[in-house]
């Protein structure tokens, strides 16, 4: 198949969160399975162009917006799996320090930036004479594409048979902008209706794609169910319910080359399930690096997270005192909302030797926390999939999670009566529930080391592979093409 992946981020080029891991992880596995893959990204300032070996491909590409033609350049590199990675260069929109915004918030012209990018993705295919079988879009930044295919380019021979798939990585971010972004994108006024884009007088990009994409997916089966309900649906549950039979849940994979404790170059010592000695060294090095007491027996909780409401870190703030009183240590890495940053920035001074934090982005430290901690804490209010708990399972660091979305699907509750399970779970979004699960974890860690090691080993044996996920996406792409054909003749 010819597959175009249109995304706002992808590793190793540009990443803010898990979407980057997913777009960057899926593309090479589709290519390795024999498909032709174009991965299209904006050329952000942050992308290390020379390091990745990009070269100019189209010196001048005219992108027809609804308000006239805008010009850009296109660059290309072919990665070692054969993916053609294309960068769309437009200084006005993308030569900025952030992907989506800066410390003061999202860029005010984000709607225009990504409306332009969405049209550029389609124009690039036309200029390169690629007629894709499917375009796979991710979240709101590329969510205009399915509607462009249906309203704007329905009769264009390149796009006539092309299916579209929207993957929702996080329904909380919908991309709601002034209505004029739609006319700038070249979409007709009839798309600005409540059944498609209209949302209280504004244009909701994700809502439009939920109506117009041939098929929809999200990143875990449980989250796929949750978003059909009033609480998980973030105001769009009615529209998602209409498409319930077209909505699939496919768990994210993990790149074993990047996240494998046996080969991880970021770790002071490597280890595997067969020999866990290196893990104790990783703990010691982490304690030293972060200024925690060098106590090998203290249960060390790791946290790597965006500091936003979704992640439930406010519960951790409230629980910190009790955790420390029970002898735990806590190591936190993250960035996000100023209040949470300030709290976790100051907490090490209140609990010297017991709580450590780094407020910032550090891939190296993320790997070292996954490996050096005894337990991984992820108390998310909602979690479409979540990658960190999957990494922590692989790194022999049992997760303590709230049972929601992908956390529910990837972590199996530890049951002492059967000695089964891979982690600890709680259900209520309360400090008490978080403490209940965490103190249980501490108790098993301290008093039943054999049971704890069983939890560690069962987690390490699990695999969430991109091969499996890629196969499921290809199936979805085939169905999307069939749906597109049905739509065309209906």
Residues that bind ligand ADP (CB under 6 A): 17-18, 21, 304-306, 333-335, 361-363, 366, 385-388
Residues 191-230 that bind ligand GLC (CB under 6 A): 219
Among 170, 329, 410, 438, indicate the residue that binds ligand GLC (CB under 6 A): 170
Cβ proximity to ligand ADP: between 387 and 433 the closer is 387
Instruction: Tell me which residue has its CB nearest to ligand ADP.
Output: 18
Shortest gap between Cβ of 205 and ligand ADP (angstroms)?
Answer: 19
Shortest gap between Cβ of 405 and ligand ADP (angstroms)?
Answer: 10
Residues 371-410 that bind ligand GLC (CB under 6 A): 383-387, 406
Region of 17-25, 176-184, 322-330, 425-433 interacting with ligand GLC (CB under 6 A): 17-25
Other beta carbons within 10 angstroms of residue 488's beta carbon come to 12
Nearest-CA neighbor of 255 among 467, 475, 3?
467
Token digits of residue 72: 């850009």
Q: Is 17 in the site for ligand GLC (CB under 6 A)?
A: yes
Cβ proximity to ligand GLC: between 74 and 219 the closer is 219
Rounded Cα distance, 257 and 249, in Å: 25
- For every residue of 176-240, DSSP letters joined together read EE-THHHHHHT--GGGSSTTTTEETTEEEHHHHHHHHSSEEEES-HHHHHHTTSTTTTTT-HHHH
Match 């997916």 to its residue by tokens.
217
Burial 289-299, CB ≥16 within 10 A → b, else e: bbebeeeeebb
Shortest gap between Cβ of 195 and ligand ADP (angstroms)?
Answer: 29
Cβ proximity to ligand GLC: between 211 and 385 the closer is 385
Nearest-CA neighbor of 186 among 266, 69, 287, 54?
69
Instruction: Tell me which residue has its CB nearest to ligand GLC.
Output: 18
In Å, how far are 14, 107, 114, 369, 430 from 97, measured between CA atoms? Answer: 12, 11, 16, 27, 37
400 contacts 427 by C-beta, under 8 angstroms: no
Q: Is 5 in the site for ligand GLC (CB under 6 A)?
A: no
Cβ proximity to ligand GLC: between 134 and 387 the closer is 387
Q: Which does 362 bind (CB under 5 to 8 A by kind): ligand ADP, ligand GLC, none?
A: ligand ADP
Q: What are phi and psi of 163, to 5 degrees?
A: -85, 160
Q: Which does 372 bind (CB under 5 to 8 A by kind): ligand ADP, ligand GLC, none?
A: none
Other beta carbons within 10 angstroms of residue 318's beta carbon come to 14
Cβ proximity to ligand GLC: between 22 and 369 the closer is 22
Match 């936190």 to its residue by tokens.
332
Q: Rounded to a whole number, what is the distance in angstroms from the first to the last CA of the chain?
A: 24
Q: Is 18 in the site for ligand GLC (CB under 6 A)?
A: yes
Among 252, 357, 373, 422, indicate the residue that binds ligand GLC (CB under 6 A): 252
Region of 15-23, 47-55, 176-184, 273-281 interacting with ligand GLC (CB under 6 A): 15-23
Cβ proximity to ligand GLC: between 19 and 400 the closer is 19
Cβ proximity to ligand ADP: between 254 and 435 the closer is 254
Sequence-distant (6+) residues with CB within 8 A of 424 are 375, 398, 399, 400, 401, 413, 414, 437, 438, 440, 441
Q: Which does 333 bind (CB under 5 to 8 A by kind): ligand ADP, ligand GLC, none?
A: ligand ADP
332 contacts 303 by C-beta, under 8 angstroms: yes
Q: Is 22 in the site for ligand GLC (CB under 6 A)?
A: yes
For the CA atoms of the chain, what is the radius of gyration? 23
Shortest gap between Cβ of 116 and ligand ADP (angstroms)?
Answer: 24
Q: Is 119 in the site for ligand GLC (CB under 6 A)?
A: no
Nearest-CA neighbor of 86 among 2, 5, 164?
5
Q: Is 169 in the site for ligand GLC (CB under 6 A)?
A: yes
Shortest gap between Cβ of 171 and ligand GLC (angstroms)?
Answer: 9
Coil, helix or strand at residue 128: coil
Shortest gap between Cβ of 23 and ligand GLC (angstroms)?
Answer: 9
The single-letter DSSP state of residue 271 is: -
Shortest gap between Cβ of 167 and ligand GLC (angstroms)?
Answer: 8
Cβ proximity to ligand ADP: between 197 and 464 the closer is 464
Residues 39-78 that bind ligand GLC (CB under 6 A): none
Q: Is 254 in the site for ligand GLC (CB under 6 A)?
A: no
- Interhelix angle 449-461/431-447, nearest 10 degrees: 110
Would you tell me which residues interact with ligand GLC (CB under 6 A)?
A: 17-19, 22, 169-170, 219, 252, 383-387, 406
């Amino acid at each position: 198949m010819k597959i175009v992946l249109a995304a706002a981020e992808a590793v190793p080029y540009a990443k803010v969160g898990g979407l980057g891991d997913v777009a960057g992880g899926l593309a090479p596995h589709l290519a390795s399975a024999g498909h032709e893959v174009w991965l299209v990204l904006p050329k952000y300032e942050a992308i290390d162009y020379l390091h990745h070996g990009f070269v100019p491909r189209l010196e001048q590409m005219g992108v027809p917006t609804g308000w006239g033609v805008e010009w850009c350049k296109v660059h290309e590199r072919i990665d070692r799996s054969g993916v053609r990675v294309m960068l769309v260069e437009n200084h006005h929109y993308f030569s900025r320090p952030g992907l989506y915004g800066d410390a003061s918030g999202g860029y005010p012209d984000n709607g225009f930036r990504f409306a332009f990018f969405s049209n550029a993705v389609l124009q690039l295919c036309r200029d390169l004479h690629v007629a894709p079988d499917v375009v796979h879009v991710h979240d709101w930044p590329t969510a205009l594409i399915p509607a462009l295919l249906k309203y704007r380019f329905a009769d264009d021979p390149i796009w006539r048979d092309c299916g579209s798939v929207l993957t929702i990585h996080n329904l909380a971010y919908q991309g709601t902008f002034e209505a004029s972004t739609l006319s700038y994108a070249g979409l007709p006024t009839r798309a600005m209706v409540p059944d498609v884009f209209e949302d209280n007088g504004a244009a909701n990009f994700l809502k439009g794609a939920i109506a117009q994409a041939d098929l929809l997916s999200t990143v875990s089966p449980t989250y796929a169910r949750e978003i059909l309900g009033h609480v998980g649906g973030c105001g769009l549950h009615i529209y998602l319910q209409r498409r319930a039979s077209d909505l699939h849940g496919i768990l994210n994979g993990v790149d074993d080359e990047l996240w494998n404790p046996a080969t991880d170059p970021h770790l002071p010592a490597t280890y595997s399930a067969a020999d866990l000695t290196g893990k104790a060294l990783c703990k010691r090095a982490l304690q030293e690096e972060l200024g925690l007491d060098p106590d090998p027996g203290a249960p060390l909780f790791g946290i790597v997270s965006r500091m936003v409401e979704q992640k439930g870190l406010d519960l951790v703030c409230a629980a910190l005192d009790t955790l420390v009183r029970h002898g735990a240590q806590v190591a936190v890495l993250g960035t996000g909302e100023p209040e949470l940053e300030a709290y976790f920035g100051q907490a090490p001074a209140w609990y010297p030797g017991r709580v450590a934090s780094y407020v910032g982005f550090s891939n190296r430290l993320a790997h070292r926390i996954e490996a050096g901690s005894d337990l991984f804490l992820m108390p998310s209010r909602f979690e479409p999939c979540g990658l960190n708990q999957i990494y922590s399972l692989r790194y022999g660091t049992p997760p303590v999670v709230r049972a929601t979305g992908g956390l529910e699907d990837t972590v199996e509750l530890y049951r002492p009566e059967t000695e089964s399970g891979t982690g600890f779970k709680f259900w209520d979004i309360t400090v008490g529930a978080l403490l209940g699960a965490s103190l249980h974890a501490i108790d098993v860690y301290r008093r039943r080391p054999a049971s704890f090691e069983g939890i560690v080993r069962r987690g390490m044996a699990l695999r969430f592979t991109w091969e499996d996920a890629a196969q499921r996406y290809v199936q979805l792409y085939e169905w999307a093409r069939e749906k597109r054909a049905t739509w065309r003749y209906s």
